[in-house]
Amino acid sequence: MVELPPYLSPSSAAVFVGCPRRWRFKYVDRIHDPSGRAALVGTFAHLVLEHLCGLDAPERNLDVAKRLAAEAWPEFATDEDYLELGLADDEARAFRWQAWLAIAGLWDIEDPSTIEVVSTEQRVKTELGEVPFLGIIDRVDRVDDKLVVSDYKSGTLPGHRWRGEKIQQVMLYGAALEAAMGELPDRVRLLYLGQQILDVHVTERRVEEAIDELGTVWNRVQTACSAEQFEPNPTVLCGWCPFVASCPEGQAELAIRAEAGSLPAHAPAAALVS
């Protein structure tokens, strides 16, 4: 029997739903899962915005954000995941520019100097239903004397059919925040930097649906750990999986897609079948 993890987070639950085999490699076998370029751009933007929104409201401006970014960069540039990207000088400059556009994109959707920030990077650990839960909330605000959960997104705004999962994740943050502070947030917001804000009212029904879905995933995790069976879910995303070299089903999927001409050439794992 594989030992159960001590908790589920929105990200680990999403990995399991996407592919239980990948979940095992990452969370049970603890094989290093390097962050890709897009994820690291988001990590750096989150870091700078965390520091920015920890300042007094009048200090939250673009000039201060530039200073914070410059101060944070030297340490970030020595991080193992960033170094693994192996960026040449021109690529590193493009990375920094992309990260800056994400940071500056906050001002395209809101003025942070007008926000009453309650906390940044708040760690919430609790039980939701019967599921041990851990989450890190990017920002908790207070608007009209009501709590609001704000979650930064540096990626592209998804189409309408793909937004439900993202909204459900921040609903879980809302539920966890209620457990931690005794107050259910009024709204959850997905801040797609430089694009728009998805603003959703929190209701007991929406929270219950999110917790029920988390419970379903937790039950599947328990079953998989008990049976020591973590089935793969081969899709085109195998082309971006860092563990595909250890997954025969993933490699077979890549070979089929390569033969059919449907494997994107820019997929990192495409080299395995070239």
Extents of the domains making up the chain: 37-112, 116-225, 234-274
Please give the pLDDT value at position 148.
Answer: 97
Please give the pLDDT value at position 274.
Answer: 66
Please give the pLDDT value at position 180.
Answer: 85
Q: In whole angstroms, what is the distance from residue 254 CA to residue 239 CA? A: 7
Please give the pLDDT value at position 75.
Answer: 97
Which amino acid type is present at position 160?
H
> Which position has the token pair 């250890």?
246
Which two three-digit tokens encode residue 84? 């693994």
DSSP 142-181: EETTEEEEEEEE-SPPPPGGGHHHHHHHHHHHHHHHHHHH
Please give the pLDDT value at position 266.
Answer: 85
Total residue count of the chain as it appears in this document: 274
**Pairing relationship of beta strands 196-201 and 131-143 according to DSSP bridges:** unpaired
Please give the pLDDT value at position 115.
Answer: 96
Q: How far is CA 45 from CA 13, 125, 225, in A?
A: 24, 24, 35
Decide: 91 and 33 in contact? Cβ < 8 Å.
no
Q: In whole angstroms, what is the distance from residue 123 CA to residue 12 CA? A: 16
Rounded mean pLDDT for each run of 10 residues along the chain, 274 residues in total:
92 95 95 89 97 97 98 96 95 97 98 96 94 96 96 91 85 93 94 96 94 97 96 94 94 93 88 78
Report the run of H or E that residue 14 belongs to, with start and end. helix 10-18
Please give the pLDDT value at position 164.
Answer: 82
Neighbours of 255 (CB within 10 A): 13
- Asked if CATH classification 3.90.320.10 holds for the domain at 116-225, the reply, yes or no, is yes
Q: In whole angstroms, what is the distance from residue 215 CA to residue 66 CA? A: 42
Please give the pLDDT value at position 86.
Answer: 94
